[in-house]
Amino acid sequence: MPQQNVNASLYPWSQRRLTFTSNVPSPFPRYGAAVNSISSKEGDIYIMGGLINSSTVKGDLWIIEAGGNLACYPLATGAEAPGPRVGHASLLVGNAFIVYGGDTKIDETDVLDETLYLLNTCTTFHLSTLPTPAIFGDVC
């Protein structure tokens, strides 16, 4: 059967190829990574952690510059970056990329990481942990 003209309004999806700007292998396919659901005001999308090739759990951080040429590359972060994890959540609020939870166990006896991690996307991408509430005292 010959292909008929397709109504583009019924199929709004389009495809774009990412531009990998480093010698690092592609971060895809990846399962259970945390990705901000709304891009930054510059159009940036952050991808953190996840499971690769059904065997390797990662804690790396990638950026896709969706507001430009779709460059995709890893970001170097500080020593306080979240460790490898899968199934975690993330949120982008202003210039803060926040990561929480996920499965961080390597051995059955390991304790899950309950730290809330914050990445300031306006600086040199240093990750830090959110201070414990006791530091702030009684604010409420």
Domain extents for the chain? 18-134
Top-tier CATH class for 18-134: mainly beta
| Candidate from 37-41, 129-133, 134-138 with smallest mean pLDDT | 134-138
- Of 59, 44, 140, nearest to 96 by C-alpha is 44
DSSP 68-119: TT-EEEE----TT---S-BS-EEEEETTEEEEE--B--SSTTPPPP-PEEEE
Render pLDDT for 31-48 as a digit per residue (tens, 0 to 9): 999 999 888 888 999 999
Distance separating alpha carbons of residues 93 and 4, to the nearest angstrom: 44
Compute the average pLDDT of residues 108-121: 87
Distance separating alpha carbons of residues 37 and 27, to the nearest angstrom: 18
Render pLDDT for 64-110 as a digit per residue (tens, 0 to 9): 998 888 889 998 877 678 889 999 999 999 888 999 988 888 888 88
Render pLDDT for 12-34 as a digit per residue (tens, 0 to 9): 788 888 888 778 788 889 999 99
Distance separating alpha carbons of residues 98 and 130, to the nearest angstrom: 9
- Using DSSP, state whether 50 is helix, strand or coil: strand
Pair of tokens at residue 70: 């779709």
Residue 63 has pLDDT above 80, yes or no: yes
- Predicted confidence at residue 134, as pLDDT, reads 43
